[in-house]
Amino acid sequence: MAGWSGLHCTRLHRWSEGFEKRGNCGMAAGNLYAINAAGELVEMKPSAPQDEDQMQQLIARHPAVIGDDDGELLLVQREQSIADGESTGRWSLDHLYVTSAGVPVLVEVKRAVDTRLRREVVGQMLDYAANGTAYWEAGTIAGSFYETASEHSLDPDEVLSRFLGDDRDPSEFWDQVDANFAAGRVKLVFVADRIPSELARIVEFLDEQMRADVRAVELRWFEGADGTMALNPRIIGASERARLAKRSGQSKTPLTISEWIERTPLSDEARLAAPKFIDLIENAGGTVTVTKAQAALVAIVSRAEPVYPLSFRKDRSGSIQVHFERLARTKAYADESARQTLYADLTAIVGPLFSENIEGHPGFPAEKLNDSEALAALSSLIDALFRKLGSASG
């Protein structure tokens, strides 16, 4: 896919450059007309995409054509693999995006001629959302974004900075993404060049009933004699009543660390381990705080640019994640061999981690801290980790 410009948040003008929009572009049928720079009338007739892949490539390059009031979209990955608890890649989602507010956007694309567009695609999308929220571990979406950026020879930190702005903390952003996904605060978007009435009614019903936002985007295609293409999107499902009802419950009252431990759904063993995690971090010279999204307790190494190397999360009823993806951005662990050594030292203490990805966020059950020998070994490991981060600032 050329350029992967979706990551650059480029916006496709729905009319070619030099054309002025005229008339009612919301018309359901008929031609569209534009006035070019020379003042000439250009007629555009209803057309259709060549195939589903053409639609997918266009949406990946220009996500603005399926957007609504969420602003720009950041492409995480095309053909995002989704697990079902038994296999790691049973399904494949057409597109995964995130909004600047940290809301995951799941997009499924179909041609109007595809008979699955009427009912089957709804069950398909609900499978994706249900299994994704259940089995995707924290850090998965961030990992997919960094992987896709690397595949397209882009600097993921630079792309993310342009998307978020200089005043946003990437770590807090990805924590918010994970928290939204785990809580089912996602957007499900069905895209087709024509949305059948059956699907429109289902989308409107689901959007009223679900915590998730549900949309359909009818992306009408028009083409001029010279090959100029125009797109006329129509959003279905964005009722004001549903929007207000969902937003009313999204604000969170700040929690202290003690309140987070008490109120977060954890196993008894994990709840017992939480104070030990805090002691480990504070004894190594770090601090612990509740993330803004209240998805975790995060450890902080204070320096010119703070580092967040570990977190105690509610995932799996209580787990500890080691943020190798964040460590990789520091001088101390930029070299892959340093991260491999850290990974090997961790597994020697707690056993196999949930993931072998030293570019991601592998973790282990929090209850491991209740083993006195493991706790002592982890204390030495974390102390050395924090010293290394502090001495290699940057």
- Is there a single domain that holds both residue 231 and residue 274? no
What is the per-residue pLDDT across 250-265, written as a single tens digit (0 to 9) for each?
556 888 999 999 988 8
Cα–Cα distance measured from residue 324 to residue 393, given in angstroms and rounded to the nearest whole number = 16
Strands 104-110 and 187-192, by their bridges, are parallel
Tokens standing for residue 262 = 């008490």
- Going by pLDDT thresholds of 50, 70 and 90, the confidence category of residue 359 is confident
Task: Specify whether 26 is located in the same domain as 114.
Answer: yes
The pLDDT score that the predictor gives to residue 315 is 76
Residues 347, 344: Cα–Cα separation, whole Å: 5
Residue where a domain terminates, one of 213, 247, 281? 247
pLDDT at 158: 84
What's the mean pLDDT in 7-34?
45
% of the chain beyond a pLDDT of 70: 85
Question: Are 81 and 222 in a shared domain?
Answer: yes
The per-residue pLDDT for 161 is 84
One domain for residues 231 and 270: no
Answer yes or no: is pLDDT of 233 > 50: yes
- Most confidently predicted of 29-33, 44-48, 230-234, 278-282: 278-282
Q: What is the DSSP string of 84-139?
A: -SS-S-SEEEEEEEEETTS-EEEEEEE-TT-GGGTTHHHHHHHHHHHHHHHHPPTT
Q: How many CB atoms lie within 10 A of CB 265?
A: 9
End position of a domain, from candidates 247, 267, 298: 247
Examine residue 252 and state whether it is found in any structural domain, yes or no.
no
Same domain membership, residue 227 and residue 100: yes
Position 156 in a domain: yes
In the predicted structure, residue 89 carries a pLDDT above the cut 80: no
DSSP state of 9: T
Domain extent at residue 379:
257-391
Q: What is the 3-state secondary structure (H, E, C) of 331-367?
A: CCCCCHHHHHHHHHHHHHHHCCCCCCCCCCCCEEEHH
Tell me whether strands 41-47 and 32-35 are parallel, antiparallel or unpaired.
antiparallel
3-state secondary structure of 77: strand
Helix, strand, or coil (residue 319): strand
Looking at residue 96, what is its pLDDT? 92
Co-location of 138 and 54 in the same domain: yes
Determine, yes or no, domain membership for 366: yes
Instruction: Compute φ and ψ for 241, nearest 5 degrees.
Output: -65, -45
What average pLDDT does the segment 335-360 reach?
A: 92
Residues 6+ apart with CB under 8 A from 128: 82, 91, 93, 106, 108
pLDDT tens, position by position, 98-115 = 998 899 999 999 888 777
What gap in Å lies between CA 225 and CA 111, rounded to an integer?
Answer: 23
Question: Position 347: which residue type?
Answer: T
How confident is the model over 325-344, as pLDDT tens digits?
889 889 999 999 999 999 99
Domain boundary among 203, 224, 247: 247
Mean pLDDT, residues 206-235: 86
Positive or negative, the CA dihedral 116, 106, 89, 183 is negative
Domain count, the chain: 2
Alpha carbon 109 to its chain centroid, in Å, reads 18
Please give the angle made by the CA atoms of 23, 24 and 26, to the nearest 5 degrees. Answer: 155
CATH number at residue 387: 3.90.1150
* pLDDT bucket at 10, cuts 50 / 70 / 90: very low
